[in-house]
Structure 1
Amino acid sequence: MSSEEPGVVTEQPTWSRWVIIGGTLLAVLLIGGTAGMFLTRAVDEPAAAVPAAGSVEVGFAQDMSTHHLQAVTMAGWARDHSTDPEIRQLAFDIERTQLEQVGRMKGWLMLWDQPEQAIGAPMKWMTEPMAGHDGMSMAPSSVNPGAGVLMPGMATEAELAKLRSLSGKELDVYFLQLMLRHHQGGTAMARYAAAHSSLPALKALVNSILTSQGAEMDQMKLMLSARGAQPLPA
């Protein structure tokens, strides 16, 4: 049975009330100071220009999202159908990394009030030929002629169908070959975008793409060599 008498309210210690009051005031001051900081920055710093349709930033976000999603599709297939632990781990890493990057780009497009996919042919934002892997020139109109306008490194429907038809070592090798070429084309596109944009967020993403895909390309070359295979012809 409680020792407190019914109807008697125990008074809260004075020090406890002051701790609560002091904490509340501190929180209010912190919130107010933070709000003031953002208001000051909003007044002192001009608003960043929102990239328009047809700009390098919008075009890159739209096309690279599509480019990445094909890599995610190929990686998902290899992860689910290969029996090689090394292939499965690589595929998982590619799938996870590129999905996160797609999320960033689609977030930009939403903020910029732009569609997730470009209308018409891809890479219209690229007005100059770009330097591809191994130093060769890669112009949008010359990529995979006869198979529609595909972005650099992307697999054709026939190549994807072949990938799905293979198993065992043949699947592993063909996956590595297609993904290596895919990475090479994607990094060339990323470098072009960074060279023609001053947007810090885009440059940061490009740095992330080049870092992750650069390491993966080195790994895939070693994995192909270990399996007695070579990259696809350029």
Structure 2
Amino acid sequence: MNRTQWAAIAAVVLALLFAGAATVASAGRDDGTGAPRTPSAGSPDAGFARDMALHHQQAVEMSFIVRDNTDDEDVRRLAYDIANTQANQRGMLLGWLDMWKLPKVESGIEPMAWMPMDMRMGAGHAMFEPHDGALMEGMATTTELDRLRAARGKAAEVLYLQLMTDHHKGGVMMAQGCVDLCAAGTERDLAQGMVTAQGSEIRLMADLLRERGAKPRG
């Protein structure tokens, strides 16, 4: 069994574990008396759910694009696993917002506003500014998505792996923010799972890029 198959199995197992955990009606929270506790619209819990759902949506889109633009089985399998895992997680996040009776889109609030400035900037990084369709850290721009749609074969594989590496790095940063700021419970556990799983996939994608004579951007 090769490393891609191991990564695929790990991603599926994590998705199944968190799917089962998501059946807890209160998303793992209570107020100390056993009664469900609903986060506010401006809380890290709600902000993470909204922003990560949107972040995941683009990962699913990119994965379906590369699946159709290459015949390479390793990349297609990785893309399929990312699409499945992140689509499942996105459903959980949106389901929690519905359960909490909170909006999925908060007008007038910039993405990642629930994270303190120092967490959003990271060590030595400039503050992210939305541009060309990229709304959050790690997201591909409209121009980059158009390039991915037009690419074929090895060129599509390399661009996808580079874009998804950036995407995962942004996702890990945001998920770690929830680990640090969200209330204890299923959502925070899901965020920790994202940190672990996406970190593993970043290392796998570095190997796949190396095999293609390329490397991550930046």
Report the TM range for the smaller structure's normalisation.
0.7 to 0.9
State the partner residue of 1:52: 40
What residue identity is the alignment partner of 1:107? G
1:97 alignment partner AA: T
TM-score, length-normalised on structure 1? Answer: 0.74
Unmatched segments (≥5 aa) in structure 2: 1-29
Whole-angstrom CA distance in 2 between matches of 1:98 and 1:145: 22
Task: Kindly report the root-mean-square deviation, in angstroms, between the aligned alpha carbons of the 2 structures.
Answer: 2.0
TM-aligned CA deviation for residue 145 of structure 1:
5.8
Structure 1 residue 147 displacement after superposition = 3.7
Pick one of 89, 93, 99 that aligns with 2:81: 93
Letter in 2 for 1:69: Q
Report the Cα offset of residue 106 of structure 1. 0.7
1:82 is matched with which residue? 70
Q: Per-residue deviation at 1:51?
A: 0.3
Q: 2:115 corresponds to which residue? A: 126
Q: Which runs of 4+ in 1 moved over 6 A?
A: none
Contact 2:64-2:79 within 8 A present in 1 as well: yes
CA distance in structure 2 between the aligned counterparts of 1:127 and 1:104, rounded to whole angstroms: 24
Q: Distance in 1 between matches of 2:72 and 2:134?
A: 34
Once the two structures are superposed, the pairs formed by residues 144-223 of structure 1 within 5 Å of their partners are 144=129, 146-147=131-132, 150-223=135-208
User: Which consecutive residues of structure 1, in runs of 5 or more, have no partner in the other structure?
Assistant: 1-41
Q: Which has the larger radius of gyration?
A: 1
Moved more, 77-86 or 122-131: 122-131
Alpha-carbon distance in structure 2 between the residues aligned to 1:212 and 1:150: 23
Letter in 2 for 1:56: P
Residue 99 of structure 2 aligns with which residue? 111
Within 1, Cα distance between the matches of 2:153 and 2:82? Answer: 20
Q: Is the 8 A contact 2:55 2:171 kept in 1?
A: yes
Structure 2 distance, partners of 1:152, 1:85, is 29
CA contact (8 A) 2:69 2:151 kept: no
In the alignment, which residue of structure 1 is the partner of 2:123? 136
The structural deviation recorded for 1:219 is: 0.6
**Could you tell me the percent identity over the aligned residues?**
41
Q: How many residues align?
A: 187
Taking the aligned partners of 1:146 and 1:70, their CA distance within structure 2 comes to: 15
Question: What SS does the corresponding residue of 1:212 show, helix, strand or coil?
Answer: helix
